[in-house]
Amino acid sequence: MSAAQETERVWAALDGFHIEVPSWGFANTGTRFGKFVQGGAATTIEEKFADAAEVNKLTGASPTVALHVLWDLPGGKADVPVIQALEKKHGVKSGSINPNLFQDLEYKFGSIANPSSEIRANALAHLLDSVEIGRALGSKDVSLWIADGSNYPGTQSIRKRIVWMEEVLGATHAALGEGQRMLIEYKPFEPAFYHTDIADWGMALELARRAGPKAKVLVDTGHHYQGTNIEQIVAWLLHVDQLGGFHFNDRKYADDDLTLGSIDPYQLFRIFHEILNSTKEDQAGIAFMIDQSHNLKGKMEAMVQSVVTAQEIYAKTALVDRARLAELQQACRLVEAEECFRTAFWQDVRPLVREWRKSRGLPVDPLKALTESGYVEKITGERESKNAKSVSSYA
């Protein structure tokens, strides 16, 4: 590939690459053992919008922010005008709407899969509210992460709970408006330990199909068993036209919610390849979102770092010579195919990405620009007193 072709490919890829940032990625989070509070963490939806706008200003790639209904719109639909004002003020839009069905005490034994029809009705009501909020905000996706499950064998009927979920998800689907979708996430364990009602992509796919055509599957890269080939699941979901989007993060063992590409960057490259190797139509329907919990790294730093890493690895993937690769794969010329594939991974795309940033009027080095902007110091000064001390789930 000539240098000009490389530039063209990378620039085209970056122009088309957007990745949503989560509002909760700017707030304090932690593990069950404790929450290490940061002075600059966002504590209000206004602060989260400000932070998201700053990330977008630095990277040019994150024009939307995912909202969490319970934490960001505690007043429900009534808070929509507040959000709309923030969108206008900060120049970033609302992205996916994330209901919360795991925190309230009544969901102890499940939400949409709870044996109690009353509790399931409450869960449905929250989902319908979320759909309405999404419609009012012009947001495309309602993203459902259902934490339901059980901790001990024999304590719940796995099969009955499937039926209950189908009912609630069907009713939620029926409320979706024109242009709205619901994305169903899966996760093998945590916070439920013995069985999680939507444990893998097969279960999410069944539920999505049963719910209706506007339901798709959401892949969180951290929600798989050890050794799972995630890019293969991506290929299958593309094949059956059910890939709704991603929650990107990385992990070493469980659902660690580490910054994207930090543990296994080659895996991210392979996932991106399945996407770029698919048709434009396939690609159009895929939402890219970050879902991370930076409990040690600085919130703003970590978010900028993640977006930059995503851009760089996406740029690498764009450099795969897919026509040549297809020939080598067809001929089963294994070593040549592998080398053709990973030569793009080994290429240092950072100079090309810098050029693109410059041409688009963006800072050449977003992390450095963040430091130099003094933004973190500023918000720390403003927010420090609002951020309390470490809290453990134990004490």
Site for a second copy in 249-278 (CB under 8 A): 251-254, 256, 258-259, 262-267, 270, 273-274, 277-278
Determine the size of the site formed for a second copy (CB under 8 A): 116
Q: Which residue of 3, 4, 152, 178 would you call a contact of a second copy, by CB under 8 A? A: 152
Give residues 171-190 in contact with a second copy (rule: CB under 8 A). Answer: 188-190
Part of the chain binding a second copy (CB under 8 A), chosen from 1-9, 83-91, 145-153, 174-182: 145-153
**153 contacts a second copy (rule: CB under 8 A):** yes
Which of 12, 240, 358, 364 forms a contact with a second copy (CB under 8 A)?
Answer: 240
Whose Cβ is closer to a second copy: residue 21's or residue 233's? 233
| Distance from C-alpha of 369 to C-alpha of 357, rounded to nearest angstrom | 12
Within residues 70-99, the interface with a second copy by CB under 8 A covers: 70-71
Residue from the set 6, 46, 200, 321 that interacts with a second copy by CB under 8 A? 200
Distance CA 243, CA 217 (A): 5
Site for a second copy in 52-71 (CB under 8 A): 70-71
Name the residue nearer to a second copy (CB basis): 87 or 148: 148
Instruction: Select 217 or 362, whichever has its Cβ closest to a second copy.
Output: 217
Site string for a second copy, 95-134 (x = CB under 8 A): -------xxxx--xx-----xx------------------
151 touches a second copy (CB under 8 A): yes
Interface segment toward a second copy; rule CB under 8 A; list 7-15, 121-129, 177-185, 334-342: 334-342
